[in-house]
Amino acid sequence: MLPRSLNREFAFIINDVARMLKTYADHKAGQFGATRAQWAVLVRLDRFEGLKQSELAEMLDLQPITLTRLLDRLCDNGLIERRSDPNDRRAKRLFLTAAARPLLERLGELGEDMMNVTLAGVSRESVERIVGELAVVKENLRQAIAQRSAPAAAEGQRYG
């Protein structure tokens, strides 16, 4: 058996918390006839309206076909619309409809309630500190991934 490692425990607990938060969000979003994945799409479009489908797929770490199914359902429900990209005939840009706004408000309130339950017993100062430290961890990971991708891209250019 491997000796306990604080670094490994950190990774395990982050993974467990993320998985459990997703499960809880799926359960709660169902109250509004939505899924966590649909909720994530709506929130991203609220923040970055006019994204291309490919940009949104990358942002949400979803396969394009998976995202297409989500978008089809959201379009069918009148919550988003696809518009042609004036600069690229093949691309579609995504926009929220007026019907999405009230749902987003309710989901936002639901998210606040969820996080109040989730963070019960944790002080505001601790939450601020954790958020700041996790932002550093996220940036470290972003840089590590970018460094890993850079040599592969350079090789492709050299031999491509």
Q: Are 147 and 111 within one domain?
A: no
User: Is residue 20 assigned to a domain?
Assistant: yes
pLDDT reported for residue 68 = 93
Specify if 50 maps to a domain: yes
Q: What is the mean pLDDT of the chain?
A: 91
Q: Does 54 lie in the same domain as 23?
A: yes
Q: How many CB atoms lie within 10 A of CB 93?
A: 19
Residues of the chain whose pLDDT is less than 50?
158-160
What confidence tens digit (pLDDT) does each residue in 56-67 have? 999 998 998 999
Q: For 89, list phi and psi in degrees, rounded to 5.
A: -60, -25
Count of domains forming the chain? 2
Given this model, what pLDDT does residue 91 score?
86
Q: Given phi > 0 = left and psi -120 to 50 = alpha, else beta, which region is 61?
A: left
Examine the domain organization and report whether 10 and 68 are in the same domain.
Answer: yes
Same domain, 102 and 157: no
Instruction: Convert the pLDDT of each residue in 21-50 to its tens digit.
Output: 999 999 999 998 899 999 999 999 999 999
127/116 same-domain check: no
Closest alpha carbon to 120 in 53, 24, 8: 24
Tell whether 98 is covered by a domain.
Answer: yes
1 domain residue, yes or no? no
Q: Are residues 28 and 82 in the same domain?
A: yes
3-state percent helix, strand, coil for the chain, nearest multiple of 5 = 70, 10, 20
SS3 for 95? strand
CATH number at residue 115: 1.10.10.10
Pairing of strands 80-85, 88-96: antiparallel
* Predicted model pTM: 0.77
Q: What does the pLDDT read at residue 56?
A: 94
pLDDT at 119: 97
Q: Which amino acid is at 106?
A: R
Residue 88 confidence (pLDDT)? 87
pLDDT at 160: 45
Return the pLDDT at 136: 97
Are both 111 and 133 inside the same structural domain?
no
The verdict on 115 and 139 lying in the same domain is no
In the block, tokens 């606040």 appear at 112
Residue 37 lies in a domain: yes
Print the domain residue range for 82: 6-120
